[in-house]
Structure 1
Amino acid sequence: MDLLACRVRQRGCRRPGKRNSSCRRQIVASRSRIKLDGRGFGTESTQPSSFFFFWIWKQHIRLLSFPHLAPRSDNFASHMAVEKAKEIVASSPVVVFSKTYCPFCTRVKQLLAQLGANYKAIELDVESDGAELQSALAEWTGQKTVPNVFVKGERIGGCDATMAMHDGGKLVPLLTEAGAIVNAKASATATPSL
């Protein structure tokens, strides 16, 4: 008698809550058969089938024989994102990685606009791969937050570092040296500190 028939028989017991001994023996036999059956066929087995182990072994051999068919890891994707970030930084004298809703990013972009600097703003919340670029920047520079400002391919820092450079009088000469500001004297005297 299988497990299903035994359960049906349990419901038909005369005294609720009490089972006769033959019914108990059948339940124990059914449970032991479920636990010991390693073939994996039928609905009673709880162990994986031998076909599953064969399939895993086959995939292992396939990947050893043809490594180019293996799925690419996250290291490859992060490497590509870091390379893209480095290309973006090299493409322009001043690059600001920012987000449209960030007030610190807005403050840095307003400062650069008041100085008359030509800069390239990469809005990470608008870009399709913005999250990957931000994690690549965190891996490359160690800074997880935005804005992330680069001048002449070198990282300046975030909002506080950029404002501190401007207050110290070091930002305008650096932007002029990078070629981002054409008329340095007019912008240096006309721009009040933010």
Structure 2
Amino acid sequence: GVYKPDFGKIFFLDKDISNMPPYAICSLGITKTSQTVQSFPDMTAIENVLTSVLFARKESVEGIEPKVRARELLDFVGLRQEKFNVLTRNLNVVELRRIQLARALATKPQLLLLDELLTGLTPKESDEAIALIRLLNKQGITILMVEHIMRVIMGLCDTVTVLHHGEKICEGTPAEVCSDKHVINVYLGTKFAFDEE
């Protein structure tokens, strides 16, 4: 939705979404987080999430008061309750990432695109995020991640696709990708390569 394809078509659930605007794609069940965290800085954390709750797909808010839903989402992503009513300009990047994820989840996605969600997180925060991603996947949400942290990729992904200068150089299980000589030469070095024995 943000960028139009130079060629080819993009399908989701047998529907051509190639030229659809972002809001229409979101209404079909695709949402994303960005590597560069964006928020409404003059709004509180809960107000930021309310923007997505109120404009989400209709079935995601039926029967639940929007502010209650926003609080549930902020709780779910692990934002401390004392931060709910703080202006987002006064929050740190980890807190903003949690809010961004809550906003994405407010749309009840079937496909969640995560762009380097773990960037800037401590190992403990990364472990919490990994557990949350696993939980989302168990709830039936398909997750497509862009990530550079090998520990995360190897421990979380079912299928890994490696791009180099915009070209796909390898795709397979984490073990297959870590054993691929081209991937080892371009990205991994021998530290992350799996033994072939």
TM range (shorter): under 0.3
Q: Which has the larger strand fraction? A: 2
TM-score (norm 2): 0.23
**Highest Rg: 1 or 2?**
1
Higher helix share: 1
